[in-house]
Structure 1
Amino acid sequence: MERHEVEALLTLAEELHFGRTAQRLHVTTGRVSQTIRQLEHRVGVPLFERTSRKVALTPVGKQLVNDIQPAYEQLRAGLARAIEAGKGLDGELRVGFVGAAAAEMLINAEKVFGRRYPGCAVHLKEMHLGDAPERLRSGEIDIMLGCFPLAAIDLVTGPTLLTELWMLAAPASHPLARRSHVSTKDLAGQTFLEAPCGLSFDGTRPGPRAETFQEILTLVSAGKGIFAVGEHAIRFHDRPDIAYVPISNAPKLEWGPVWRATNENARVRGFVEALTGA
């Protein structure tokens, strides 16, 4: 059944009057009558008894209305919730982050967002390096602060919020640690830690795998390998046993908001505006 047929049937069943039904549906009486006749033709039996004095449901019509009504009400309720989620700013927003730099940006944005939209609660969730996109796709989080580029047709990337240099994280005793900068060619033959995200370089040897940033730093300190990190590591993870050296010819590292294409709503847009200062 088409939506206009369902609405005509259920409204006429309630009003039992073609004129009032037409008024409620904002169509002509003739349109209501035509829709009901077409529906009856498809069913094969009358759904309404019509006389000059009254309109009444037939037994088949009453049964059809009883069968359709619950599903139609559920559909309307679901549509109303979707519309409300699209334009409303109450409820909750789950925001994911990886690392201290992302957390700092999100905390500031949460304060701005909270002042603008006090009816929406923001929940910040720390994630591991590799599982953030999948937790976004699963619906566990609504938006995250991540690294660009993030090539995925189901994910939307917002404006770049932070651009920084890539730095080589190496043990303080490593020969490259004494350099003012390194190039990607200098990394050839070096043992490079494996991690779910980060730069990769030609000619490096694969080292141990790490799942968290703290694990990366621990392995670097232990001399198990070197790794490329963002420039913010100097501020948030300054350690005497690790040196951070700029990688001069590496592309810049960019950070920004990421969300599912199917989950762009007013809360997500509002938080992006809070992040960008709009």
Structure 2
Amino acid sequence: MRALEVRELECFLVLADELHFGRTGERLYLSQSRVSQLLAALERRLGARLVERTSRRVRLTPFGEEFLAELRPSYDALAGVVSRARERARGLTGTLRIGFQGTATSYLMRAIEAFRSEHPDIAPQLVEIPLSDPFGALRRGDVDTAVVLLPVAEPDLELGPVFSEQRQTLAVSVRHPYASRDRLSAAELPGADLIAPAAPAPSYWRAAQAPGAAGGPAVATLQEGLTLVAADIGAMLLCRPTADYHARDDIAFVPVDGLPDSALGVVWRGGGDTAAVRAFADAVAGARRVRGGAPRSGSSRTPPP
């Protein structure tokens, strides 16, 4: 079909929905007279009237009703073919492997749901990455993108939307002297024997997760850290949502004043921002806008705070 014929069909389908020439023109960004011309051309092509129009109403003729019933599913199927081909051409098909640290938060799950709704031909695959190795899975190609704790100052990685800024809490055993406190100050953290992520996490990143920790326990995973906390072998900084998610009877979570908020960021390899990765980053940014506030973005080359 020539482009003109497709436009005629589109015009008829919208007119069948609206039953109003003015509103049809608005939806198609056409003048009312152009809508009339396209409809008349289609009627001449078919050899029958599709629409009855008076000064008070617009309605389909019986022939128009029959034509609509046959045209709609065929047109929708054709539009689907074109849409799927466009998605394939842009790389918006297949599997997107998304790394995450510790807990797949409700915010992240909402972003993934929005991503799946917008791009049904991409299957997101969630992959937990170790607390002690936030960037290794990306560099090895085990994941296409990752949601990691900030800061990110890796020259070979790119940082996209930053989100989920949260107050930090200190996880301590219920037997620890700090467990009965309503809040703590950052200056009191050295007395808590902070648990830090182990290598190969970069030193600047480990220092951000456990500021002032010196010679304390080091762990590879969040669960290892929580186990040491419960055993009263150390204390661990966690954001409020992670603390709520991992609430348990043998651990107390005490808010800490004077620390920067923790935050998460979407990261990918330099040059690895495929259409699917960008679409996921957009979904994360969009989820933040829905909840209020504009998403921030960072640069992997910015020195850590």
Shift of 1:223: 0.9
In the alignment, what sits opposite 2:93? 90
Provide runs of 4+ in structure 1 moved above 6 Å: none
Query: Quick one: distance in 2 between partners of 1:142 and 1:185?
Result: 39
User: Is contact 1:157-1:257 (8 Å) kept?
Assistant: yes
**Which TM-score applies when normalising by structure 2?**
0.59
Instruction: Determine which structure has more spread, i.e. the larger CA radius of gyration.
Output: 1
Query: Quick one: distance in 2 between partners of 1:88 and 1:137?
Result: 21
Could you say what the CA RMSD is over the residues aligned between the two structures, in angstroms?
2.1
Q: How does 1:141-180 map to 2 (within 5 A)?
A: 141-180=143-182
SS of alignment partner, residue 209 of structure 2 = coil
Aligned with 1:216 (options 225, 229, 232): 225
- Measured against aligned partners, the alpha-carbon deviations of 1:134-155 in whole angstroms (never above 9, x if no partner) come to 1101111011111111111111
SS of alignment partner, residue 215 of structure 2 = strand
CA gap 1:125/1:201 in 2 versus in 1, 3 angstroms: closer
Shift of 1:192: 2.0
Aligned with 1:120 (options 116, 119, 122): 122
- Measured against aligned partners, the alpha-carbon deviations of 1:229-273 in whole angstroms (never above 9, x if no partner) come to 111133201112111111101111111211112101111111111
Query: Quick one: distance in 1 between partners of 2:248 and 2:237?
Result: 16
Shift of 1:85: 8.4
Kindly indicate whether residue 139 of structure 2 is the aligned counterpart of residue 137 of structure 1. yes
Shift of 1:103: 4.5
Q: Quote the sequence identity (%).
A: 35
Aligned with 1:225 (options 211, 234, 251): 234
User: Is contact 1:166-1:253 (8 Å) kept?
Assistant: yes
Kindly indicate whether residue 253 of structure 2 is the aligned counterpart of residue 250 of structure 1. no
- Amino acid paired to 2:94: G
Q: How does 1:8-157 map to 2 (within 5 A)?
A: 87-100=90-103, 102-157=104-159
- List runs of 5+ in structure 1 lacking aligned partners: 1-83
In the alignment, what sits opposite 2:210? 200
Shift of 1:205: 4.8
User: Is contact 1:169-1:226 (8 Å) kept?
Assistant: yes
- Measured against aligned partners, the alpha-carbon deviations of 1:58-105 in whole angstroms (never above 9, x if no partner) come to xxxxxxxxxxxxxxxxxxxxxxxxxx98832122211111122x3533
- List runs of 5+ in structure 2 lacking aligned partners: 1-86, 199-205, 288-305
User: Is contact 2:195-2:210 (8 Å) kept?
Assistant: no
